[in-house]
A and B are shown apart, each in its own frame.
Chain A
């Protein structure tokens, strides 16, 4: 009996002890000394910190805590970790900022952790915030006004990178004209759909790439029924689609947006019309025609009857297995299923084409701004300018034209191991919008002998070498699928250059103008509306609902909150860009 009592006591005792122990930890790391941080970061930091003991005196290191959204693919070498790597050391040595990552998680989990931190009133100095939380915190006065810090500390390169779109995305981070965060720039131009086609199938059947919807359907019919792969088996589909028609962040391969665009409609876009009003294009009249056409194609057997249960991964499998020869997708497809297809069958070849139109109007693909996060500082943070200083580092190391191959290898991708050190950066902002263009131009002029490798950006030079090697070795894609990748992405036949630049030059890109935090009615009603829209679309395509039922959906959509959402979106647009 006694022993059991003791056990019970021990149990409660252990709990109390653990509580005490943790309390102690908390104290040291939360206090103004650096002792807590030292333990975690190991020898390297201990060394530097011992040299700057006079911390309280104002010089020396500024300690800043950071809540960071991870990519999920970070890999650390040796005894490095999130608080001890090439970037944290760089911040420390070059800026005197001791960055202490207190919370980090990847993907949706990060939102989860963020909510916990907000609920327990335990926000760090600096943080990454999704649009919704950013807008809440900024409006609640919980974020630091970084307008002046940005003006003072942001390097020209950083400003140039961030404001490349004319400050449109930056405007979404302002409240009453003051800046409360920096958006992670979204390369909106890269979100437009291209039409990807297997050129070897076109050749086998003696066809040309389609330029109108009618031609596209003929190609699809031939791909379906004329045995394009010549294997004598009926195992190919006309055109590949995946199941998500109404999806927040696009679905590639197998997107519907490029198809809808042929009819001047888009599933999820907020488009500004001639009168300057923003409207939801998912309820456009053109949508009905597009769905009716898809239904016809479905009945004709051109579309996999199982598309409704296949996600992008499943469709990618069909593409890689050589069952699909045409689909709508993003510019990066050479890295996805197409590459696997080539590796499995070196005779296969893919090329992208502009999307086609079903009307006399040219087809205009839609682009989306998707700001994955805002970088912001806590209103209680004593050194909000640290955010800007940290942001400069990535620009200097990676994006600067002055950066050398050596800095790239140290701060970017290690060519030997493939580990991407840039993922350690607390604040990584690619000039994604013009990066591909710049690199393409540089690679092109180098290939044509107008510039030399030494003159162009070392990152571009890296890609140039791969492409040059691919061309010099007879463009053998079976042997060098990676070379084929670069060639098709950023080389002479690259998607970005051949198509997207053309879209841009001819003013064919339509931008979805809403990219703020969800409006009040959106957060209450949008899910039900999306469900209704998704069901209507898939049912019309599969013929379980007549195309005319689309009109009923439209009126339901409007009455069940759609009209209110439209008003709210217009209001957001006018306050963000109106003045």
Chain B
């Protein structure tokens, strides 16, 4: 009786939370969990002509096929190489820029720079590609003109297979820089000003204030972003690579997504697309879990 009563009061205590979560749970169940049935396609030879449940089961055959494709190994490696560079850059630079922006005194300058920085996020790669081909051109592109005036040789950023992955990473980091700062700027805004006053009284200069107040305060947000972004280890950015690459940089620039795109997966081969998707999701999930545990162990913070 006592236990029962306890349980009841516990439930009554938590009831408001369950009610709050109810609509989201229903929607998530309908639009996310029911479609999970489709994951079975990864192990089927799927043809849209037949119904969802009448497909031919092939087990791991799709994976066997994918991994037996000539050069698929190097494609995975290219993907990881580009994605990891992006991952690190997209974590570090937005924090850095957010901190630098926070040091700007002039309100108008700060606002303007902030607004302008996030513009590239809105321009699609299809539109940016033409611009990059021009400014990165070894003959007459502005970037190489600057390099030449500094006494350096021209670099064929988009045509040299040794340079291409870096070009992809840097241009992507540039594009998403301003967009990435937004969460940190918001986090910085949320910092209690009294912390700074206390630091000032302790004799901390601006640099030390950043080090001991700002960074620790936005650390939860940085950790969250970090944990989420390790899941991107196989996301090298289809749209970008697709618009920038060419056969001469296939050896370093061809990524999983562009490769499967050329097989025709996007349009028709849903079994392979699902297999690739599941593979990527599984890896993401494992990495996010590891990141979550690490953040908990090292920083003592559960990000979720």
Contacts and interface: CB of A to CB of B under 8 A. Distances in A.
A and B touch in the complex (CB under 8 A): yes
Interface of A: 1, 4-5, 8, 11-12, 15, 108, 111-112, 115, 118-119, 121, 132, 136-137, 140, 142, 243, 245-246, 305-306, 308-310, 313-314, 518, 523-524, 527-528, 530-532, 534-535, 537-539, 542, 544, 560
B247 A305 contact: no
B26 to A, nearest CB: 6
A107 B294 CA distance: 47
Contact of A243 (B16, B48, B246): B246
Contact of A542 (B248, B250, B266): B248
A246 B248 CA distance: 13
B247 A535 contact: yes
Contact of B16 (A1, A132, A245, A560): A1
B248 A539 contact: yes
Contacts of B246: 243, 308-309, 538
A523 B70 contact: no
A554 to B, nearest CB: 15
Contact of B70 (A243, A532, A538, A544): A532
B267 A108 contact: yes
B250 A112 contact: no
Nearest to B272: A524
B138 A306 contact: yes
Contacts of B139: 305-306
B256 interface: no
Interface in B97-149: 130, 133, 137-139
A523 B264 contact: yes
Given A528-B71, A531-B259, 9 more contacts: A1-B16, A112-B267, A305-B156, A308-B248, A309-B159, A523-B269, A527-B262, A531-B262, A538-B248
B128 to A, nearest CB: 14
Contact of A308 (B27, B159, B267, B270): B159
A538 B247 CA distance: 7
A230 B80 CA distance: 50
Contacts of B259: 527, 531
A4 B49 contact: no
A313 to B, nearest CB: 7
A539 B263 CA distance: 22
B51 A121 contact: yes
A534 B250 contact: yes
Nearest to B136: A309
Contacts of B251: 535
Contacts of A305: 138-139, 156, 159
Contacts of A539: 248
12 contacts: A15-B27, A111-B267, A118-B48, A243-B246, A245-B247, A313-B130, A314-B130, A523-B264, A532-B70, A535-B247, A535-B251, A542-B248
B118 to A, nearest CB: 28
A140 B23 CA distance: 43
Nearest to A531: B250
Interface in B230-258: 246-248, 250-251, 254
A111 B270 CA distance: 13
Contacts of B87: none
Interface of B: 16, 19-20, 22-23, 26-27, 47-49, 51-52, 65, 69-71, 130, 133, 137-139, 156, 158-159, 246-248, 250-251, 254, 259, 262-264, 266-270
Contacts, number: 95
Contacts of B26: 12
Residue among B248, B259, B262 having the largest count of chain A Cβ atoms under 10 Å:
B248
B48 A308 contact: no
Residue among B51, B247, B267 having the largest count of chain A Cβ atoms under 10 Å:
B247
Nearest to A560: B70
A246 B247 CA distance: 10
A531 B254 contact: yes
A334 B70 CA distance: 42
Contacts of A310: 133
A132 B247 contact: no
Given A1-B16, A523-B264, A137 B248 contact: no
Given A8-B19, A523-B264, A528 B69 contact: yes
B268 A8 contact: no
Contacts of B19: 4-5, 8
Contacts of B270: 115, 119
B49 A136 contact: yes
A269 B270 CA distance: 29
Contacts of B248: 243, 308-309, 535, 538-539, 542, 544
Contacts of B133: 309-310, 314
Contact of A537 (B23, B65, B137, B247): B247
Contacts of B16: 1
A15 to B, nearest CB: 8
B250 A535 contact: yes
Contact of A527 (B23, B49, B263): B263
Residue among A12, A136, A527 having the largest count of chain B Cβ atoms under 10 Å:
A527
A283 B246 CA distance: 21
Contacts of A1: 16
A306 B263 CA distance: 27
Contact of B71 (A243, A530, A531, A537): A531
A11 B248 CA distance: 53
A41 B47 CA distance: 35
B268 A140 contact: no
Nearest to B51: A121
A11 B20 CA distance: 12
A308 B70 contact: no
A518 B49 CA distance: 17
Residue among B16, B65, B70 having the largest count of chain A Cβ atoms under 10 Å:
B70
Contacts of A115: 48, 267-268, 270
B49 A140 contact: yes
Nearest to B157: A309
A119 B247 contact: no
Contacts of B47: 136
Nearest to B250: A535
Given A136-B49, A310-B133, A531-B262, A243 B268 contact: no
A527 B262 CA distance: 6
B292 to A, nearest CB: 30
Given A140-B49, A306-B138, A523-B264, A8 B247 contact: no
A132 B268 contact: yes
Contacts of B51: 121
A534 B246 CA distance: 9
A544 to B, nearest CB: 8
Nearest to B129: A311
Nearest to B264: A523
Nearest to A5: B19
A537 B246 CA distance: 12
Contacts of A544: 248
Nearest to A7: B23
Contact of A530 (B23, B69, B137, B262): B262
Residue among A8, A245, A313 having the largest count of chain B Cβ atoms under 10 Å:
A8
Contacts of A4: 19-20
Contacts of B20: 4, 8
Contacts of A140: 49
Contacts of A246: 247
Contacts of B159: 305-306, 308-309
